[in-house]
Amino acid sequence: MKLKSSPWRCSMKVVDISDLRSHTGEEVTVRGWLRRKRSSGKIQFLFLRDGSGFVQAIAERSSVSDGVFQNANNLKMESSVVVKGVVKAEERAPGGVELLVTDIEVVQIPEKDFPINKPDHSIDFLMDNRHLWLRTQRQTHILKIRHEIIKAVREFYNDRDFVLVDTPIFTGSIGESAGNTFEIDYFDYGKAYLAQTGQLYLEAAAMALGKVYNLGPTFRAEKSKTRRHLIEFWMNEAEVAYYKHEDNIKLQEDLVSYVVQKTLERAGDNLLAIGRDIGKLKKIEAPFPRMTYDEAVRLLQKKGFTIAWGDDIGADEETAVASEFDKPVVVEKYPKMMKAFYMQPDPERPEVVFCDDMLAPEGYGEIIGASERIHERELLIERIKEYGLDVSSYDWYLELRDYGTVPHSGFGMGIERVVAWIAGLEHIREAIPFARTLYRIHP
C-alpha cells in the first residue's frame, strides 16, 4: 500500500507518549501505531503506542467530525496513525493520561490481521513471529531493561578508566576447546572459527593498556536446549594486568552491584511493569557471599546430593548452592582438572586453581566465569600438553609470556543471563532481540 503524504510531517507539535503528562491541556500530535481498539458504538478507545510508551486515545461521536470518527472506526490492529488530540488527566484511563482525539491521519491500515492478538499464544508461534512479537508491551519493557543493563556495563568500565578493546569474531586459533566451535571457510587460508571468547586477545591487550574490556557476540556450537542457553550470546569480558585472584573477585562484585542498582534506578518502571519483585534486586550490593569448591561439595553432601570432591557441580547442584543466599554467590578454587588449561594453580594447593564462578540467586545459575591466568611460559606449555592440545596453535598466546609477563586476571559475564536474572525471565530467549537457539535461526 502506498504511503500518503501529509502536512503533519512538519506543522504539528509532535510529542513522545512518555512525555505526554508534561503537556496536559495542550493539543499535541502522537505518531505511532494502534495496538488495540475497543468501541462502544458512539465512543472509541484507541490504545496507541509509539515506542516510548502506550496511551489511550478517545474518539467521541459527539465531539469529532464524521470523517475523523470514520477513520477511527476503520483502524485495525497495528495500523500506523498520526493522531492529534488534547492531553487530559483522566483517572479512568490506564496511565492516568489520555488523548482526546481531534484529528486522525491514517498512514497505513494493514490488509492482513495482526497475528499476535491475545495473551495465550504458544512459544513456538511467538518465536516464529518474533519480528512482530517485539511490538508487545512486555517485550518492549524487556528490551529497554537490556539496554539499561548494557549501558551500565559500559559505564562501569569507562568510569574506571578501562579501555574498550573489540576482539575479533573470526579467529584462526581455537579458543578454549575444539568441538563446540562454528567452523567456516576463510578464502585460501582454510578454516576459521567464530569466537567463543575474546579472552586470549584481551590478555594481549591488557599487556598493552593495563585495564581492558570487551562487549560483543560469541558463538558456541553446543547442542544445548535449556532455558539458560543461546547459540549466539553477548558476553562482556574484562582483563587486568597485575590483578590477582582477589582483585578479580572484587571487580566482579562491584560490576554486578553497579549494574543491578543502575538498572533499578533507570528501568525500575519497566521491571515493575513486567512483574519483577524489585525488593530482591535492592539487596544486591557488594560484597557477595563466598565459598570454596571444597565447601560447596560439603554443603551439597549435607543436603543429600551424591557428590565427591572432583565431581562437576551440575545444574541441580548449582541451584541448591545458590538458593542458600539472596545475593549472587562466588564459588572459588575448583579442582584444576575441571577447568581450562590457562588457569593459575594455587601455589599452596596445586590441585586447585585461582578461579571463580558467580551464581545468580533465584535459580538463574552461572553469570560469570573467571580466573587468574598462568603467566609463566613453561607452566602454560606444560598445561597445554596435559590437556592434549597442540602447543603450536598457541604460538602468539605463549609469546605474550616472553616479553615482560605479569600476573593478570579476568572474567566473562553472559549478558543475556544477567538480563534474564534482573528482569526475572523464565527463559533466556526473551533476553535478546532475536535469539539463536538450537534449530531456530528464523526470523
Partner RNA sequence: UCCAGCGUGGCUCAAUGGCAGAGCAUCCGGCUGUUAACCGGACGGUUGGGGGUUCGAGUCCCUCCGCUGGAGCCA
Please list every residue from 248 through 287 that binds RNA, using CB under 7 A: none
6 near RNA (CB under 7 A): no
437 near RNA (CB under 7 A): yes
Interface with RNA (CB under 7 A), residue total 72
Residues 361-400 that bind RNA (CB under 7 A): 365-369
- Give the nearer residue to RNA in terms of CB position, either 96 or 265: 96
Distance of closest approach, residue 47 Cβ to RNA, in angstroms: 7
130 near RNA (CB under 7 A): no
Tell me how far CA of residue 127 lies from CA of 177, 187, 313, 433, in angstroms: 31, 34, 32, 11
Q: Which residues contact 369 (CB under 8 A, 6 or more apart)?
A: 355, 357, 411, 412
Distance of closest approach, residue 221 Cβ to RNA, in angstroms: 10
Q: Provide the 10 A C-beta neighbour count for residue 387.
A: 12
Q: Provide the 10 A C-beta neighbour count for residue 413.
A: 24
Distance CA 371, CA 385 (A): 20
Which range touches RNA (CB under 7 A), out of 17-25, 37-45, 148-156, 240-248? 37-45
Burial class (CB in 10 A: 0-12, 13-18, 19+), 11: exposed
Closest CA to 146 of 388, 352, 358, 429: 429
Distance of closest approach, residue 151 Cβ to RNA, in angstroms: 19
438 near RNA (CB under 7 A): yes
Contact track, RNA, 78-107, x by CB under 7 A: ------------x-xxx---x---------
417 near RNA (CB under 7 A): yes
Q: Which of 97, 142, 200, 235 binds RNA (CB under 7 A)?
A: 235
- Give the nearer residue to RNA in terms of CB position, either 266 or 324: 324
Residues 109-128 that bind RNA (CB under 7 A): 113, 115, 117-125, 127
Tell me how far CA of residue 1 lies from CA of 76, 113, 129, 158, 286, in angstroms: 15, 15, 22, 47, 56
- Give the nearer residue to RNA in terms of CB position, either 70 or 224: 224
User: Contact, 236 vs 413, CB < 8 A?
Assistant: yes
Residue with cell 545475593: 327
314 near RNA (CB under 7 A): yes
425 near RNA (CB under 7 A): no
Residue with cell 495473551: 119
User: Contact, 309 vs 319, CB < 8 A?
Assistant: no
Q: Which of 38, 131, 191, 303 binds RNA (CB under 7 A)?
A: 38
Q: What angle do CA 296, 308, 411 make, to 5 degrees?
A: 45
Distance of closest approach, residue 46 Cβ to RNA, in angstroms: 9
Which range touches RNA (CB under 7 A), out of 34-42, 243-251, 291-299, 346-354? 34-42
Amino acid (1-letter code) at residue 430: E
Q: Which of 130, 147, 154, 227 binds RNA (CB under 7 A)?
A: 227
Helices (H), 225-313: 245-273, 278-282, 293-302
**Cell for 39?**
468501541
User: Contact, 296 vs 325, CB < 8 A?
Assistant: no
- Looking at the DSSP assignment, which residues form a beta bridge with residue 34? 48
Q: Which of 321, 409, 412, 425 binds RNA (CB under 7 A)?
A: 412
- Give the nearer residue to RNA in terms of CB position, either 166 or 265: 166
Q: Which of 45, 305, 325, 434 binds RNA (CB under 7 A)?
A: 45
Residue with cell 565447601: 295
Distance of closest approach, residue 128 Cβ to RNA, in angstroms: 8
Which range touches RNA (CB under 7 A), out of 10-18, 57-65, 300-308, 396-404? 57-65
- Give the nearer residue to RNA in terms of CB position, either 9 or 38: 38
**Cell for 90?**
483522566
Contact track, RNA, 165-204, x by CB under 7 A: -----------x---x----------------x-------
Kind and range of the H or E run holding 183? strand 183-186
Closest CA to 210 of 411, 437, 409, 389: 409
- Give the nearer residue to RNA in terms of CB position, either 130 or 266: 130
